[in-house]
Amino acid sequence: MSAIPAVDGRDEWMPARSRTAACNGRIKLLLGDEQPLVRRGLRALFESDPAFRVQGEAGNGSSLLELASAHRPDMVLMDVDLPGPDVLDVVRRLVGDRPDGSTGVVLLASEGGLADGRVLGAARAGVRGFLFKRESSEIVSGVRDVARGGAAMSPAIVGQVLKALRRTHRPAAFRPSGELALLTPRELQIFQLVAQGLTNQQIADVLVLSEATVKSHFNRICRKLALRNRVDAVILAYEMGVAGTVTEPCSTA
């Protein structure tokens, strides 16, 4: 993981405070990775951003759960192959320990990504972001997006989800849904394009919008449909039978 700088440092496990979206306006973050140099590199990335406060690091899932219980973080960034208990069980514990679901979990994958079945399982367990370690420039912004209630996902991960779903789901004809009725025409377009694996920038190009506008629309879609990430969006679109159909362009953004 050469793209992430390694620095010398030591763990600083700070006491937990009352549950808030951030401590003194900062996002409280825990890091989980087996490799100390990787953890230190990630710490360097986040400590250089005043929006974050790194509460601690863990080299295995059991230690990470102990830290989370003590510090009640806003965000947890963890390696998908973290040693210890099954990663999906760790995710369920991290999400379930906060009744309001306010702890956001982002998984970091190495070059090989995640097995198709693991991607779907992780999404259903409550993961709100999937990023690659090699994309160091995207890690901080992705975690920030999730902390703000959005979602973060590397395009290659979406591709894996689509591949898995095409093997396990048989797309059906479009049928109206009460949930989809919550979406505006533009949001429905974006929902369907997300389900086809397009990135925010690609959707922006198709609909002649700014990438920021697309991201804003998608975050509203997530709130309206109770989606945690793009994997949830893809799964729901397949289950509703709308993944392969995009509505006609509408005049309002």
- Tell me, yes or no, whether 13 lies in a domain: no
Q: Which of 218, 203, 217 is nearest to 253 (CA)?
A: 217
Q: What three-state secondary structure class fits 216?
A: helix
| Domain hosting residue 90, numbered range | 27-155
User: CATH number, domain at 150?
Assistant: 3.40.50.2300
Number of domains in the chain: 2
- Burial (CB < 10 A; 0-12, 13-18, 19+), residue 129, is buried
Statement to judge: residues 115 and 173 lie in one domain: no
Residue 177 has pLDDT above 90, yes or no: no
Q: Which of 147, 136, 138 is nearest to 30 (CA)?
A: 147
More confident residue, 141 or 68: 68
Q: Are 226 and 178 in contact (CB under 8 A)?
A: no
Q: 252: which 2 tokens?
A: 């309002």
Residue 37 has pLDDT above 90, yes or no: yes
How far out from the chain centre does Cα 17 lie?
24
Statement to judge: residues 37 and 118 lie in one domain: yes
- Tell me, yes or no, whether 12 lies in a domain: no
Statement to judge: residues 44 and 138 lie in one domain: yes
Rounded distance, CA 199 to CA 17, Å? 37
Task: Give me the residues paired with residue 32 across strands.
Answer: 58, 78
Statement to judge: residues 148 and 184 lie in one domain: no
pLDDT for 2 equals 36
pTM: 0.68
User: CATH number, domain at 226?
Assistant: 1.10.10.10
Statement to judge: residues 202 and 128 lie in one domain: no
Statement to judge: residues 145 and 211 lie in one domain: no
Q: How confident is the model at residue 189 (pLDDT cuts 50, 70, 90)?
A: very high
pLDDT for 67 equals 96
pLDDT for 133 equals 86
The winner for highest mean pLDDT among 97-101, 204-208, 232-236 is 204-208
Q: Are 107 and 146 in contact (CB under 8 A)?
A: no
Q: How confident is the model at residue 213 (pLDDT cuts 50, 70, 90)?
A: very high
Statement to judge: residues 151 and 50 lie in one domain: yes
The model's pLDDT over 116-134, given as tens digits with 9 standing for 90+, comes to 667 778 877 888 888 888 8
